[in-house]
Chain A
């Protein structure tokens, strides 16, 4: 009954190349090397949406980051899922920037079904106003964001419109303070 079938996955020449690139880019510390596969993903995004919508933050071997406005995030995510093969979110996190009066929300997307993409993590980020932090949820496209978005809601106070449960998850039920990962929340004694 044990279907112990193992997989060798030998065709990793490309991955080795990528890791070599990673090392060289680190050691030389130059941004000149732009990996082909990663930039092709970004180029598809920029041609589909304009470069006004999709801002490329960086393209590194295995890692890409794009910045989109909040009202376009659903369309971009839909394109990423349907046309480029990203099928799950590894994490959803937020970073507070009080100086800009903004909070950045980052979705780290990756793929299990497409082998080429399995070594790749794309960071889809957007920035919302700190005082009116509302975002459309991506739960309909990526179910794996459900608990991550709930955590982002309580930790940074981002309200995900359309999410079925913007509720407490990790914090105590009687938590009556500001969201703790915002920068003005200070740990006592520090």
Chain B
């Protein structure tokens, strides 16, 4: 394993200097994406020397929408529906930290039942996202059963969220001050039934996918990110936990009612593609336990949202809040100048932080390992571009 600094310098050198003519014959430049079925709306250029990747240059921005600029034109409440567009499969989590930040700025207190329902929705939504990610990871490695099963089981959680929020994918459920509406009748029983079924399914996933010798061969020992490199690159979420650092925002800095929930931070030490694909799976198991506890400890009645002013605003100030989303820490930095519209909104998203690891992992590995490394980074192109 080469030293990171050395690798970094080489990358830059190769990117900036024109490759010598003699080498030009040997190296082949490949453009992966943006039309590639697996890469999403994202392109990266790689140069290969025979089977080995010697250069990689990520080129995001194909779905850049200017979310941060759009926020400056709308008031705090109007921002909710468009802020969930970057990652519609995890829309409850991406509006969660926004709501937390606005609550700090405008000094709103969320009722206890609202906090529980909000956490419940975000756990359910994390399952939806992780299952979708797992399905694509499966089809990426040619395992089509692993595409069908998670996408099928994802419907269970989508149905639950539809009953809870009224929409299948883009819920706009988290708002500053709580959640939009209370739980429907009989939701608890329905939720518990489906979680119990899903836990059985997780065992089957493990048998058919994670214990599959073909899958293991393609991921074990591939694209190793050491603990030191992971810290240096500042990666987050499952990529970080796969490299042996048990960091989870829910544990490190509990928001809302997470300090009352008993759960373990799942992590692994190998740092290869297998660990990066296993950690989200372990997280799904843990999430089932969290959902049970949330339903158990939830107050039986009460308000779910605080009463808001028509145009909530607070004194001038700023706030930085983060939550644990499906792709790691998701932070919002909001500056307010005392008007109902934010002066500046910055999203610090997990995908944008994790993609820094792509060149480091790809350079020096075989081209055939590219899919398993790329998708194990838990990268969502639309979220990274914002």
Among the listed B15, B266, B335, B353, which residue makes an inter-chain contact with A6, where contact means beta carbons less than 8 Å apart?
B266
CA distance A121 to B252 in the complex (A): 12
Task: Contacts A91-B346, A112-B240, A112-B245 given; indicate if A7 touches B331 (C-beta within 8 A).
Answer: no
Q: Which residues of B (60-79) have their CB < 8 Å from a CB of A?
A: 60-61, 64, 66, 68-70, 73
Contact B61 A172 (CB under 8 A): yes
Interface pick from A44-52, A68-76, A162-170? A162-170
Contact B355 A147 (CB under 8 A): yes
Given the complex, which residues of B lie within 8 Å of A112, measured CB to CB?
230-231, 240, 245, 247
Among the listed A12, A155, A187, which residue makes an inter-chain contact with B73, where contact means beta carbons less than 8 Å apart?
A187
* A144 contacts B by Cβ under 8 Å: yes
Task: Contacts A91-B348, A123-B320 given; indicate if A180 touches B61 (C-beta within 8 A).
Answer: no
* A106 contacts B by Cβ under 8 Å: yes
Contact B16 A170 (CB under 8 A): no
Contact B64 A190 (CB under 8 A): no
Contact B355 A90 (CB under 8 A): no
Query: Which secondary structure dominates chain A's binding surface?
Result: mixed
Residue interface bits B332-363, CB-to-A below 8 A is 1, else 0? 01010000000110101000110110000000
Contact A143 B234 (CB under 8 A): yes
CA distance A128 to B69 in the complex (A): 21
Contact A187 B333 (CB under 8 A): no
CA distance A187 to B68 in the complex (A): 12
Among the listed B16, B61, B73, B251, which residue makes an inter-chain contact with A190, where contact means beta carbons less than 8 Å apart?
B73
Query: Which secondary structure dominates chain B's binding surface?
Result: mixed
CA distance A146 to B354 in the complex (A): 12
Chain A residue at smallest Cβ distance from B236? A90
A47–chain B nearest beta-carbon distance, Å = 25
Contact A88 B264 (CB under 8 A): no
Interface centre among B60, B69, B270, B282 (most CB of A within 10 A): B69
Contact A147 B234 (CB under 8 A): no
Task: Contacts A7-B264, A144-B234, A187-B70 given; indicate if A121 touches B259 (C-beta within 8 A).
Answer: no
Contact A5 B269 (CB under 8 A): yes
* B329 contacts A by Cβ under 8 Å: yes
* B220 contacts A by Cβ under 8 Å: yes
Task: Contacts A15-B259, A164-B16 given; indicate if A90 touches B331 (C-beta within 8 A).
Answer: yes
Given the complex, which residues of A lie within 8 Å of B232, measured CB to CB?
87-88, 143-144
Task: Contacts A147-B355, A169-B60 given; indicate if A4 touches B268 (C-beta within 8 A).
Answer: yes
CA distance A9 to B267 in the complex (A): 12
Q: How large is the interface on A (under 10, 10 to 19, 20 to 34, 35 or more residues)?
A: 35 or more
A152–chain B nearest beta-carbon distance, Å = 10
Given the complex, which residues of B lie within 8 Å of A169, measured CB to CB?
60-61
Contact A170 B68 (CB under 8 A): no
* A127 contacts B by Cβ under 8 Å: no
Given the complex, which residues of A lie within 8 Å of B4, measured CB to CB?
143
Given the complex, which residues of B lie within 8 Å of A121, measured CB to CB?
320, 322, 331
Contact B246 A170 (CB under 8 A): no
Given the complex, which residues of A lie within 8 Å of B16, measured CB to CB?
164-165
Chain A residue at smallest Cβ distance from B384? A170
**25 pairs of residues in contact across A and B, judged by CB atoms under 8 Å:** A3-B269, A3-B270, A7-B246, A16-B254, A27-B109, A29-B107, A87-B231, A88-B231, A88-B232, A90-B331, A91-B333, A93-B346, A95-B344, A108-B333, A143-B356, A147-B352, A147-B356, A155-B68, A164-B16, A165-B16, A168-B61, A170-B386, A171-B64, A181-B69, A187-B69
B residues with a Cβ closer than 8 A to A are 4, 8, 12, 15-16, 60-61, 64, 66, 68-70, 73, 104, 107, 109, 216, 220, 230-234, 240, 245-247, 251-254, 259, 264-270, 278, 282, 318, 320, 322, 329, 331, 333, 335, 343-344, 346, 348, 352-353, 355-356, 385-386
